[in-house]
A and B are shown apart, each in its own frame.
Chain A
Amino acid sequence: EVQLVESGGGLVQPGSPLKLSCAASGFTFSSNWLNWIRQAPGKGLEWVASINPDGSSTYYPDTVKGRFVVSKDNAKNTGYLQMNNLRSEDTAMYYCARSRWFAYWGQGTLVTVSS
């Protein structure tokens, strides 16, 4: 059974860092793109980051470029999203999703940025 389990969310102050994890099982993690998508409370979906299967290429929208870093450890079947200099507008549920079509999503982890 395919599973993606996010963790690491929580309440942080503006300007703080936070690192999210995405533990994968049930598929060949090393052969899949890993993506992060977020959803602010009551709002729509926003793509945040993507990384190719071997981790050699990463992609971000301008809203997080320079602050967020996506990575994956294929030996540990785990992906990561390092978020730096967090802002209130980064408050959202963060989902990881596999493949270029976001074919399967985790249950999400909530990040709240507030003083």
Chain B
Amino acid sequence: DIQMTQSPASLSASPEEIVTITCQASQDIGNWLAWYQQKPGKSPQLLIYSATSLADGIPSRFSGSRSGTQYSLKISRLQVEDTGIYYCLQRYSNPLTFGSGTKLEIK
């Protein structure tokens, strides 16, 4: 199974700051990676797919990048509504596996 090691487990930042969350894949997964945001008490929402493509209706403050087997989600100009837990997902091979999540708090 492909392991997705996500970091940090939690972070706190202020509005207008920039934060980066990373996922390290245990093997090559190409661009078969997505990022999701789960706000408190809500279902997850797709933010980024194919490692770098922005999902429909998602603000351009969110961006994804890849360097080898390391994937990053960058959130620019943080807003209060960005509070939540962020997960990566690899869908290169079954079983599909999620990262353990990053809890983002906006101060």
B34 contacts A by Cβ under 8 Å:
yes
User: Which of A17-25, A72-80, A102-110 faces chain B?
Assistant: A102-110
Contact size range, B: 20 to 34
CA distance in complex: A104, B42 (Å): 12
- The CB with the most chain B CB atoms within 10 A, among A59, A104, A106, is that of A104
Q: Which residues of A contact B70 (CB under 8 A)?
A: none
Q: Please, what's the 1-or-0 string for B83-107, where 1 marks a CB less than 8 Å from any CB in chain A?
A: 0000101010011111111000000
Tell me which of B45, B55, B91 contacts A100 (CB under 8 A): B91
A1 contacts B by Cβ under 8 Å:
no
CA distance in complex: A104, B49 (Å): 12
CA distance in complex: A60, B99 (Å): 18
Q: A46-B98, A59-B94, A61-B95 are in contact. Are A102 and B46 (CB under 8 A)?
A: yes
Q: Which residues of B contact A47 (CB under 8 A)?
A: 89, 95-98
CA distance in complex: A47, B55 (Å): 20
CA distance in complex: A95, B46 (Å): 14
CA distance in complex: A45, B95 (Å): 13
Asked if A103 contacts B95 (CB within 8 A), the reply is no
Asked if B91 contacts A105 (CB within 8 A), the reply is no
Asked if B98 contacts A44 (CB within 8 A), the reply is yes
Q: Which residues of B contact A45 (CB under 8 A)?
A: 36, 38, 44, 87, 89, 98, 101
Nearest B-chain residue to A6, judged by Cβ:
B43
CA distance in complex: A44, B99 (Å): 8
Q: Please, what's the 1-or-0 string for B32-57, where 1 marks a CB less than 8 Å from any CB in chain A?
A: 00101010000111100110000110
Q: Give the 7 A-B residue pairs with the shortest CB-CB distance, closest first.
A: A61-B95, A105-B43, A47-B96, A101-B49, A45-B98, A44-B101, A103-B46
